Amino acid sequence: MTGAQRSTIGTVLRHEARAVLKNRGVLLFGGAILLLTECLLRLTGSGPRALSSLLGLVLLVVPLVTMLFGVITWHASREFNELLLAQPVRRSALFGGLYLGLVLPLATAFALGLLLPFALHRALGRDALPLLAATLAGGVALTFVFGGLALLIGVAIEDRLRGVGTAIAVWMLLTIGYDGLMLLVATTFADYPLEKPMLALTLANPVDLARTMIVLQSDAAALMGYTGALMHRFLGSMLGSLAAIAGLLLWILTPAWAGRRAFERRDF
């Protein structure tokens, strides 16, 4: 990466980060996570129990907020992007700045909202630290994954309303519909060996990967679900975590790469 490209990414990143941080939605998002974490720590009196209760928030709310915020922010900054494209700026560098300017403030809000209550309550003991690290990593990874998907949708769909509708549909498919599909496959083909196909299907869903990575660090086997239990059974804790991390990295890179390619080819 040349110095000019780094300068472009830095300029766009600062602009987007300021715009995102000025948005009350990001502050409300971080504040809601902080308040909920604080309440759960007070009610449960245990770091692991509070983190287990936060699992649904990480898997459902973080992707939804990132998707909606990403699509809306993309359309809101369209005129600014077109102005930059009129300058001698590489599109790949501009997209990199837009992407980082979206996901970094959201990931920071999530991380601070999660970590501050644990630090204030001094709940960072050995029993809670692995699960806290996995929850933090899972939430940040999902922010990067769905941030890339949001920009890909924003680039591909010009109409804002259709873009928001598509973002919600993708979120529902990956967070709610996918588990139903997995259960349907498991029950329909119950007489066949499904270990390898189900593990492959798990790698195809970033939400399942994040859930597996988080729950493998806890004793809450009841929360693992079919795919998490399957990965734990056939891969073991260490291998399962490594497989989940590798799959999430692939999911982070693929939507961002596809969004960049679509951005470079689109005629503004």
Identity (one letter) of the amino acid at 11?
A: T
How is residue 7 written in tokens? 């300068």
Q: How many domains in the chain?
A: 1
Rounded to whole angstroms, the Cα distance separating 211 from 11 reads 35
**Residue numbers of the domain that contains 158:** 3-265
CA 38 to chain centre: 22
Rounded to whole angstroms, the Cα distance separating 133 from 60 reads 18
Torsions phi, psi for 45 (to 5 deg)? 70, 15
- Please name the residue that has the structure tokens 């709310």: 61
SS (H, E, C) 188-236: HCCCCCCHHHHHHHHHCCHHHHHHHHHHCCCCCHHHCHHHHHHHHHHHH
CA 21 to chain centre: 18
Rounded to whole angstroms, the Cα distance separating 195 from 172 reads 25
pLDDT tens digits, the chain, 268 residues: what are they?
555 556 666 666 676 666 666 667 788 898 999 999 999 988 887 888 888 888 888 899 999 999 999 998 888 877 777 777 777 778 887 888 888 888 988 999 999 999 999 988 887 777 778 889 989 999 999 999 999 999 999 999 988 899 999 999 999 999 888 878 877 877 787 777 766 777 777 778 899 888 877 877 776 554 555 555 666 665 555 666 677 788 889 999 999 999 999 888 876 6
- pTM equals 0.86
